[in-house]
Structure 1
Amino acid sequence: MPPPHSASAQHILSTLSVARFLKLMLCAGAVALAGCATQPKQTADASFSNHLLRDSYLLSTQSDPLGAWIDSKDSFAIDYPQSESNPTSSTPKTLVTTAMKFLGVKYRYGGDAPGQGFDCSGLVAYAAEKSLGLKLPRTASEQARTGISIKQNELRRGDLVFFNTLGRRYSHVGIYLGDHKFVHAPRTGAAIRVDNMDMAYWRKRYNGARRLEVKHETARR
């Protein structure tokens, strides 16, 4: 017959074994977490990292005040051609003013109409078609092959400006307003707004600019 205290001793030993096992599991978990936290950047998914970087920046910035941009509609360059359906219309319309009408409209990936929202290239394509009668390609990278390439110091209102925001060239597009500002649809969860190209984020990622060619253009440059 075993000693009366043997059952109690076995219970204590069993409890200590479980505690030791749990401690080892916690240590292993901590090592695993540390490994994730110190994972080299080059092994991470580049596209995911670029999305996070872009969204982090855009979340921390605010759109510019509108007063300076809407005090005079005549300050916006590049007129619409006269509508074929209404050739007698003399109302001056511009690529910039068309895009600026949608300030505050929510970003929507793949969106290219006011009722559903816009992504960056959708906004540009819609504004170009409605204001200039131009049917632009749908993506920013394709739009970067339209029109005429221009230098940054040659920028005029209505030019398209391109940025590398996702780890590839020409992955973002906006419409230049003058004074280093541009209007664009930034990202999911945000709205169409005005940003400053002199901000470090945009300055570092600037890819170039294109000037749209409009037949029978009536633009006041």
Structure 2
Amino acid sequence: MHGMQAPSHLSAPHPATRRMWLLASAAAVLAGCSSTPRTPSASRTAPVARSGGSSARAVDPLQLQSDLREALLARTMLVVNTPYTYGGNSPEGGFDCSGLIQWAVQGIHTGKLPRTTSQWAQSSTPVQGRGLQRGDFVFFNTMGSNYSHMGIFVGSGQFVHAPSSGGTVQRVRMDNPYFAKRFTEARSIFA
């Protein structure tokens, strides 16, 4: 409510109340990334099965050809600056974080795809040994779950994601203090 003044009969909220409201608002904004979308066509799979710590067990992982990485990135970059929309999965309707991933992968794969961040974790395999490559997924714990937010690594230490309400799809550095503290794992859908 920048630029607007409260009527004189209303008092300003207590600072602690304001902080609680801001934290609750931030949590609600990022919750769209790990929530089931409001669209009836969303695929639904079993919840993430955890094994040996923070890594999800891949259940029927996608194994796309590596030469599709650049096509995935090109499609992803087409929608930078598209508004964030909770449950969104199209350039016209906006994106949440997993909706962005679903839309981007639909451009290179015709099969049924996951929708939520935890479903994407199950449909991908951990990046181990070879290191993070362009087109790999990066996951973050923003809501108390290892797979509550995700993006696509684009190289040069950056990833693209749909951040939150009021934001747009954007490119962000992996060493950004907020995301560096919350990074949980990199996973891949490429063989």
Q: Give the total of aligned pairs.
A: 146
2:190 aligned with 1:190, yes or no?
A: no
TM-score, normalised by the number of residues in structure 2: 0.65
Specify the code of the residue in structure 1 equivalent to 2:98. Answer: S
For residues 54-65 of structure 1, the aligned pairs below 5 Å read none
Shift of 1:182: 0.2
Q: Give the alignment's Cα RMSD to 1 decimal.
A: 3.2
Contact 1:164 1:207 (8 Å CA) reproduced: yes
2:81 aligned with 1:108, yes or no?
A: no
Greater RCO structure (CA 8 Å; 6+ sep) = 2
For residues 113-152 of structure 1, the aligned pairs below 5 Å read 113-151=90-128
CA spacing shift, 1:118–1:201, aligned 2, 3 Å:
same
SS in 2 for 1:137: coil
Contact 1:174 1:182 (8 Å CA) reproduced: yes
For residues 39-78 of structure 1, the aligned pairs below 5 Å read 48=24, 51=27, 78=66
For residues 13-24 of structure 1, the aligned pairs below 5 Å read none
Specify the code of the residue in structure 1 equivalent to 2:137. Answer: L
Shift of 1:175: 0.3
Specify the code of the residue in structure 2 equivalent to 1:202. Answer: F
1:15 maps to: none
Shift of 1:53: 10
Tell me the distance in 1 between the aligned counterparts of 2:100 and 2:126.
20
Segments of structure 1 that go 5 or more residues without pairing to the other structure are 1-32, 55-76, 81-91, 215-221
Specify the code of the residue in structure 2 equivalent to 1:212. Answer: I
Tell me the distance in 2 between the aligned counterparts of 1:157 and 1:186.
19
After superposition, the C-alpha distances for 1:188-219 in whole angstroms (9 at most, x for unaligned) are 111101000111111110010111046xxxxx
Contact 1:183 1:192 (8 Å CA) reproduced: yes
1:19 maps to: none
Tell me the distance in 1 between the aligned counterparts of 2:125 and 2:139.
13
Segments of structure 2 that go 5 or more residues without pairing to the other structure are 1-12, 31-64
Shift of 1:49: 7.0
After superposition, the C-alpha distances for 1:97-123 in whole angstroms (9 at most, x for unaligned) are 101100111010001112111110001
2:143 aligned with 1:166, yes or no?
A: yes
SS in 2 for 1:182: strand
Contact 2:88 2:96 (8 Å CA) reproduced: yes
TM-score, normalised by the number of residues in structure 1: 0.57
CA spacing shift, 1:116–1:53, aligned 2, 3 Å:
closer
CA spacing shift, 1:103–1:117, aligned 2, 3 Å:
same
2:176 aligned with 1:199, yes or no?
A: yes
SS in 1 for 2:76: helix
Contact 1:128 1:134 (8 Å CA) reproduced: no
Contact 1:50 1:167 (8 Å CA) reproduced: no
CA spacing shift, 1:194–1:153, aligned 2, 3 Å:
farther
Tell me the distance in 2 between the aligned counterparts of 1:136 and 1:107.
20
Contact 1:50 1:165 (8 Å CA) reproduced: no
User: Alignment identity in percent?
Assistant: 38
